[in-house]
Amino acid sequence: MESAIKTVVTTYLSSTKGKENLNGGGFQKLVKNQLGGLMQDTNCSSAVKEMQSGLDANNDGKVSFQEYLTLIGYLASSLSASKTGATADAS
Amino acid sequence: MPSELETAMESLIKVFHRYASKDGRSGTLSRRELRELMENELSNFLLSQKDPAAIDKIMKDLDTNGDGQVDFEEFVSLVVGLSIACEQCYQTHMKKQGKK
């Protein structure tokens, strides 16, 4: 579990390339490379842009670490819900 | 093939459900399940898990709906909190390295 947390953190940090926040291009790349299996339309730049503005709580046009964690939390919750739903159906 | 980030998320979900299904209501962590999870999975990150008062406090902080159980969404706040702490640690570490 600790290594999973480390991956979540280092994935973000390696995408920011030393800057404090993730800009639009970096976010596009992160979503496309890391979340293509979970989400649809990761290749569609306008869809990713829309998602980015949805995450951008402080409206600075960038994705902060906190805003990135909002996305991860949301994805993990829906993934968990769909998994438990699937096992309930199977039993 | 799932990416690193997707694998990490999947393992967080698996860990949660492995502990959550141990006793009582499955799908949520009781106080005992939370303690076991912290003892076994977070032994390097947290040193306070031997302290029952600290577990109580973490449990209370996480349990936002006050039902005495930690559901997955509440567990995510723990992960977020740990990630933020981990990120800050990393930044300080990088700054230190930069100075040298």
In tens digits, chain B (100 residues) has pLDDT values of 789 999 999 999 999 999 999 887 888 999 999 999 998 999 887 776 667 788 888 999 999 999 999 999 999 999 999 999 888 888 888 788 776 5
Structural domain range at position A19: 2-79
Give the Cα separation of B6 and A30 in Å (integer): 12
Q: Which pLDDT belongs to residue B95? A: 80
Which chain A residues have a beta carbon less than 8 Å from that of B87?
9, 12-13, 65
Asked whether residue A27 is assigned to any structural domain, the reply reads: yes
Q: B74 Cβ partners below 8 Å, 6+ apart?
A: B62, B63, B64, B65
The fold for domain B4-99 equals Recoverin; domain 1 (1.10.238)
Q: Which pLDDT belongs to residue A64? A: 93
Give the Cα separation of B95 and A40 in Å (integer): 37
CA–CA distance from B23 to each of B30, B55, B71 (Å)?
8, 18, 14
Strand pairing of B28-29 and B70-71? antiparallel
Q: Do A7 and B82 touch (CB under 8 A)?
A: no
pLDDT, average across residues A19-39: 90
Q: How confident is the model at residue A90 (pLDDT cuts 50, 70, 90)?
A: very low
pLDDT at A63 over 60: yes
Q: Which is more confidently placed, A7 or B24?
A: A7
Q: Which pLDDT belongs to residue B99? A: 65
pLDDT at A91 over 60: no
Q: How confident is the model at residue A7 (pLDDT cuts 50, 70, 90)?
A: very high
Q: If you write DSSP's letter for every residue of A55-68 in order, what string do you get?
A: H-TT-SSSB-HHHH
* Nearest chain A CA: its distance from B75 CA (Å): 10
Burial class of residue A8 (count of CB atoms within 10 Å of its CB; 0-12, 13-18, 19+): buried
**What CATH number should be reported for the domain holding residue A68?**
1.10.238.10
Give the Cα separation of A27 and A68 in Å (integer): 9
**Domains of chain B, residue spans:** 4-99
